[in-house]
Amino acid sequence: MAAGDLITADLKLAGRLDARFFALLQAVHDTGSINKAARTAGLSYKGAWLLLETAGNLAHEPLLVSATGGAGGGGTRLTPAALGLLQAWQALQAEHREFLRGQQARFTQLPALAGLLRRMSMKTTARNQFFGTLGAVEIGPVSAEVKLLLKTGDEITATMTAAAARRLKLAPGKEAIALIKASAIVLVTDFAGWQLSARNQLAGTVSRVERGGVSCLVVLTLPGGATLSASVTQEAVEALGLKPGVAATAVFKAYAVMIAAQPDA
C-alpha cells in the first residue's frame, strides 16, 4: 500500500498463500531458477523451498517442473496449475486494490474520522503522542517556540529551529501532534520548595507501573484524562514509592518535544 493510505489489508488465499508466496512464484516463472527466484523475492534458498514444498504438498497437482541439463540447460518452471494459481492471485489483487481505493475515497466524506485515522497511522518509537491545536507560535531568527493545546485542557511547550517551524508551516490554530520519548521524562513526587527550569511540568496520578528487568514504565494519568509514560529505573520506583494512586509530576524540557504536523494541511 502507498504511504498515507488510511485503509490497508493483506490478501491471502487458503489462509496461508500470501504476497510473499506469489512473488516467489512469479520470480520462478521469470528466472527459471529457485536460487535466483529466492534472491529476487528476498528469501533464503531454504526458505523458498519450504514455501514451495508446503504449497506443493497441499495442491492436487504439482506446482513445479524441474529439468536437469539438456539443450535448455535445465531449470525450474511453473506447471499449468501453478500458472493458473498465479493468474488468479493477480486478478484478485487488482480487484482488492480497487476495492480499497473505493473505501479510501469514502473517508474524504468523513473528515473527522479520516483525521483520527491519519493521526493514528504514524509509526514512531515515541511512547507519548498527544494530539492538539497550536496556540502561541513564536518564530525567531534561529529558534521557535510553540504551545500545543490538548483537548484535555493540558498544554505542552516545544522548541525547535526556526527553519523547522517554517517548513511545517506552524501557525496558531493548526492541528499537530507532540511526540515525547518516555526516557526524556523525569517524575517528581516532592519539589521540596525548589523550582525547575523545565517548561513542561504536568501534574497527575500514577495509574500503572510496569516492571522490567532493569527499568520500569510508569504511567501517569493527568486530570484531563490523558496518560503519559515515563521510563525510570527500578531503584527510582522504590525510592519515590511510585505505585497507583501516588501523586507525581512529569517534567520534561521543551526541546525534548518533537512536533509533527501536516505541512500542507
Residues 109-134: tens digit of each pLDDT:
666 655 555 554 555 667 888 888 99
- Record the cell numbers describing residue 39, joined without a space: 534472491
CB 37 within 8 A of CB 31: yes
Cα–Cα nearest to 231, from 180, 200, 185? 185
Q: What is the pLDDT of residue 152?
A: 83
Q: What is the pLDDT of residue 103?
A: 72
CATH of 124-179+256-260, one of 2.40.50.140, 2.60.420.10, 2.40.50.100, 3.30.200.20: 2.40.50.100
Domain with CATH 1.10.10.10 in the chain: 19-107
Q: What is the pLDDT of residue 247?
A: 96
Residues of the chain with pLDDT under 50: 1-3, 70-73, 120, 265
Q: What is the pLDDT of residue 240?
A: 94
How far apart (Å, rounded) are the C-alpha atoms in residues 132 and 176?
6
Domain 182-252 in CATH 3.40.50.2000: no
Look up the CATH architecture of domain 19-107: Orthogonal Bundle (1.10)
How far apart (Å, rounded) are the C-alpha atoms in residues 124 and 122?
6
Q: What is the pLDDT of residue 255?
A: 95
pTM greater than the 0.75 cutoff: no
Q: What is the pLDDT of residue 3?
A: 46
Measured CA distances, 242 to 110, 192, 200, 214 (Å):
43, 17, 20, 16
Question: Strand, helix or coil at 34?
Answer: helix
Domain with CATH 2.40.50.100 in the chain: 124-179+256-260, 182-252
- Record the cell numbers describing residue 242, joined without a space: 511510585
Nearest-Å Rg of the Cα atoms of the chain is 27
150-186 per-position pLDDT tens digit: 888 889 999 999 999 999 999 999 988 899 999 999 9
